Structure 1
């Protein structure tokens, strides 16, 4: 049995701000089914835990660590969730705060101290877990320094000294950039502070550290792996990534297909599955009724569930709403974010209450009913490393219209690229006109029942499980450890 340690700043269901937590909470479970022994190490966020029903118990491990001129005592806590072991690093002065990374809309000034201390303690903990560790899998900038520390200051810890490291980039836009003043305050290995190391325009760049030193680099879709080596998506690291392209690959994320299953979802009006989709019509009727939309079975119902931000292409949709309503379509939208976008959506829904519905915020029960009741799912993102919404939509037979970028391009098969196996419709240009053209195509297909049935069934059949992703990680781990 191979021993893997995941090190991350968040993991569902214990602490979550985004897709990173979904990966670190779900991928390890799928890997255990392939015979791996997995331990997940993350900080103990007391205020986040208070929002859950989980209560970790103290272990006998208590790690003392010097950082920034003082000694920090870090007791280690443990919790088992569905057979997966989580170890939590306690240090309330650093982690018992509002927000994982900062107050709303901001970042804590001492984030490098917080997560470097976590990285060091996590390595100490990993070395005490028993059998030698085969793989240490790190995630995003918060653990980007782990591979560097392991190869410099922690080589004396024999249980982890031979471990291979994997560094996963979930979103390159967040790189963990800090003042060089922290180099000596935190005892970072300064001989790596140069342009080919983790120096970035005179600053410390934690993302670069992980890219530089990890044995393998992954990101969350094959297309995103290629895109981040271009100026448009590279966030000024495209050249650096290109230099390390031989260790870079993309592996698409998954979803918990037992948790997201229209055949057994208690939140929706009626169950349905491939070969028996009668329940989907009932779900659409219920969604129209709940949203106050006209009860029209044959009207195309467009749905969008998203953070409301420019990155998500919400402005492209806004530019088309009036036209789509004039065309006779209906819209149901759920999300929150940019106040100006929220206000615009409220104005449309107030003006056309029988044609458009907007729920500001997040409501999982309503989201499930939108996935189940919608006909066409909109995801016009300007960039999308992987995306989960399109996976959930396909799982519920809600056919996606997506911009051909990142994980959207990799997971949704475009009708014009492969009519027999299509699961949705792509558009390329990030413009309102291109989105409208793609929606027009989707609606035309919707009005051809036999064609639409095939596309919808293809979407329903798609394997979006974490087991599919885990098989790719299994192959990577085996290659790194020369285990055939």
Structure 2
């Protein structure tokens, strides 16, 4: 049995598959360097319709597909595809569903109109990612979440998935990158996000407003560590979250960092 620490990256974007912000390249480097620094690494992200399956050599993982993800009393089929980071023996798993990710746009349509189901897409992705890890049977020591689409995962780990053996000993890092939005998630978002009886109103409270600031704060306060991954974060948010008790805080070290600070954080969380 491998003695390597296991780290799972769950991300909105990872270069070269999707590059919304500079953080996609940092994640690419962080995953590869983690792999080179004796971590066992896996990555999960959405299979947005803009990702070219032929160019990136995606193929379906039949043994993992076939999961139905139940959200808001509806079942949605989850298809899982896989590719590798270029120049690295490192697998990236893509979560796909025709209703949520087949469209050839990410969060806005061709007229730059915000998709009315972005909140539901986020719930599906977060729950789908955790169900995929259960099917892996691969207990991570660290889950590194990045992007607002992943913000429910730290809360789900503490509530709905608290008693799942695969997550029983993991620590969660939440990275706040450069991607933002000015809109508000749909009014049903909080109800949709309540995927399990173990989730109480107080657990959903940080996310209640449904705006960008509330969503990332929800992800941050439910994590074991917060990483500021860009200089373009509202100073008010940085100051507020930096005062959060019981959290390890990783300040932004610049885009030319060698990422040593992340490995120090990972090893501090899981000695």
CA-CA distance at 1:99 after TM superposition: 1.9
Pairing partner for 1:124 from 131, 148, 153: 131
Pairing partner for 1:37 from 32, 35, 40: 40
3-state SS of the aligned residue for 2:70? strand
3-state SS of the aligned residue for 2:136? coil
Alignment RMSD: 2.7
Q: Is the 8 A contact 2:18 2:51 kept in 1?
A: yes
**2:203 is matched with which residue?**
192
**Matches of 1:141 and 1:203 in 2, distance apart?**
7
> Is residue 92 of structure 2 the alignment partner of residue 86 of structure 1?
yes
1:37-76 → structure 2 map (5 Å cutoff): 37-50=40-53, 53-59=55-61, 60-62=63-65, 63-76=67-80
| Unaligned runs of at least 5 residues, structure 2 | none
CA-CA distance at 1:37 after TM superposition: 1.1
CA-CA distance at 1:55 after TM superposition: 2.2
Give the 3 Å change call, closer, same or farther, for CA 10–172 of structure 1 in structure 2: closer
| Unaligned runs of at least 5 residues, structure 1 | 255-463
**Matches of 1:129 and 1:97 in 2, distance apart?**
27
**Matches of 1:157 and 1:86 in 2, distance apart?**
23
**1:115 is matched with which residue?**
122
**2:102 is matched with which residue?**
96
Q: Is the 8 A contact 1:20 1:170 kept in 2?
A: yes
CA-CA distance at 1:130 after TM superposition: 3.9
Give the 3 Å change call, closer, same or farther, for CA 18–134 of structure 1 in structure 2: same
1:353-380 deviation digits (Å, cap 9, x = unpaired): xxxxxxxxxxxxxxxxxxxxxxxxxxxx
3-state SS of the aligned residue for 1:86? strand
3-state SS of the aligned residue for 1:127? helix
3-state SS of the aligned residue for 1:128? helix
The structure showing larger relative contact order (alpha-carbon pairs under 8 Å, at least 6 residues apart) is: 2
> Is residue 262 of structure 2 the alignment partner of residue 473 of structure 1?
yes
Give the 3 Å change call, closer, same or farther, for CA 103–203 of structure 1 in structure 2: closer
Q: Is the 8 A contact 2:151 2:216 kept in 1?
A: yes
3-state SS of the aligned residue for 2:13? coil
CA-CA distance at 1:44 after TM superposition: 1.3
Give the 3 Å change call, closer, same or farther, for CA 175–478 of structure 1 in structure 2: farther
1:297-344 deviation digits (Å, cap 9, x = unpaired): xxxxxxxxxxxxxxxxxxxxxxxxxxxxxxxxxxxxxxxxxxxxxxxx
Q: Which moved more, 1:201-210 or 1:182-191?
A: 201-210
> Is residue 22 of structure 2 the alignment partner of residue 19 of structure 1?
yes
Pairing partner for 1:218 from 227, 230, 244: 227
TM-score of the two chains, using structure 1 as the length reference:
0.49
Q: Which moved more, 1:84-93 or 1:54-63?
A: 54-63
CA-CA distance at 1:167 after TM superposition: 0.3
Q: Which moved more, 1:146-155 or 1:245-254?
A: 245-254
> Is residue 178 of structure 2 the alignment partner of residue 149 of structure 1?
no
Q: Is the 8 A contact 2:189 2:210 kept in 1?
A: no
Give the 3 Å change call, closer, same or farther, for CA 176–38 of structure 1 in structure 2: farther
Q: Is the 8 A contact 2:49 2:104 kept in 1?
A: no
Give the 3 Å change call, closer, same or farther, for CA 179–91 of structure 1 in structure 2: closer
3-state SS of the aligned residue for 2:64? strand
**Matches of 1:157 and 1:26 in 2, distance apart?**
30
CA-CA distance at 1:213 after TM superposition: 0.5
1:134-171 deviation digits (Å, cap 9, x = unpaired): 00000021101100011000113211222100000113
Pairing partner for 1:158 from 137, 140, 165: 165
Q: Is the 8 A contact 1:141 1:174 kept in 2?
A: no
Q: Is the 8 A contact 1:23 1:253 kept in 2?
A: no
Give the 3 Å change call, closer, same or farther, for CA 201–207 of structure 1 in structure 2: closer
TM-score of the two chains, using structure 2 as the length reference:
0.84
Q: Is the 8 A contact 1:177 1:205 kept in 2?
A: no
3-state SS of the aligned residue for 1:116? helix
